[in-house]
Amino acid sequence: MSDWRIYRGTGEPHLVEFPDPPPWREFNGEVLNKLELNNEDDSYTRQHLAHGEAFLADDTVIDVVNAAIHLRRPLLVSGKPGSGKTFLAYSIARELQLGPVLRWSITSSTKLADGLYHYDAIGRLQEQQQQDIGKYIHLGPLGAALLASEKPRVLLIDEIDKSDIDLPNDLLHIFEEGEFEIRELVRLSEEQKQVGVYYNRRGTIKVHIEGGRVSCKAFPIVIMTSNDERVFPPAFVRRCLRLKMHVPGPEKLEAIVENHLKLNPELLESVKGLIKGLVADFDEERKKGGDLATDQLLNAVYLASRGIDLRDQKAVREAVLMHLGKSV
């Protein structure tokens, strides 16, 4: 089993053969559509690829991600802001060549239905002559992730700890069954067996749904991020694998900064001293109890690498490196 790690954490795309799922995590959705994973939105795809390239995974992250892939279980990733939770999803999608990440950003008013699909009943009522009901149905990120495909999609459920109290438990059934119904299509299933609905973020690509039911074949790679702001129900946690993202130390911070800046070798060499100094200052502030995020360090290094001296320009330094818990 020395090659069980199909996700290597290097950021370099490579062809993989996904392992068979455990018998209790097999899903049998019928693949009705060939999903064009990398052609949904070229600019959006390029942005996601860049996010994935900049992420640096350590051995613990690599092992837990691979365990989640083998077990077909959601991954609950916790850690402070800026620890790399969201970039992990992009890294997996880039490296395993699974198309753009399907991102579902959670708020206190988010309901399960918001992630599954949206039916524009008012729009259809206003166009009473329009018989194509699929024109008014758009799958949400969770719904799109459950479309039957040979390879899994990567679904990022961002900041799930902001959700209302019911959402984690509502997700349990979906995670266990790997399917859901579109009620408006179920009612029409005897008259119209297949209906095309939109599934990509821009609402320009259609997929066919049979009998009003979406059933996955390859369970999605689900990354749920949490800032540790709440305790989740035991039944929900039991069905997830948990991963704690630790704040990177100075050496890793330097590597992260260099990865993001994408400077040519000559220019990078000329600013390495600057990077090291800012990283040291940043790390010292955190050790004093300062709540700072890694992207704040990236902003500081970017400005300094362009000749803006943050030491002399106090207002800029404070704006860029303000502690997250401090009032403006």
pLDDT, residue 327, reads 45
Q: Which CATH class is domain 23-244?
A: alpha beta
- CA–CA gap between residue 303 and residue 206 (Å, rounded): 43
**Residues 166-204: tens digit of each pLDDT:** 999 999 989 999 999 998 888 887 777 888 888 876 667
Average pLDDT over residues 315-321: 73
Q: What does residue 197 show for φ and ψ, rounded to 5 degrees?
A: -125, 160
**Residues 251-260: tens digit of each pLDDT:** 888 888 877 7
> Would you say residue 298 has pLDDT above 50?
yes
Average pLDDT of the chain to the nearest whole number: 83
> Would you say residue 143 has pLDDT above 60?
yes
pLDDT, residue 203, reads 66
* Tally of CB atoms within 10 A around 82: 21
DSSP secondary structure string for all residues of 25-46: G-----------TTSS-HHHHH
Least confident of 67-71, 214-218, 258-262: 258-262
- CA–CA gap between residue 104 and residue 100 (Å, rounded): 13
pLDDT, residue 133, reads 82
Q: Where in the chain is the domain with CATH 3.40.50.300?
A: 23-244
- CA–CA gap between residue 268 and residue 161 (Å, rounded): 39
Percent of the chain past pLDDT 90, that is, above it, reads: 39
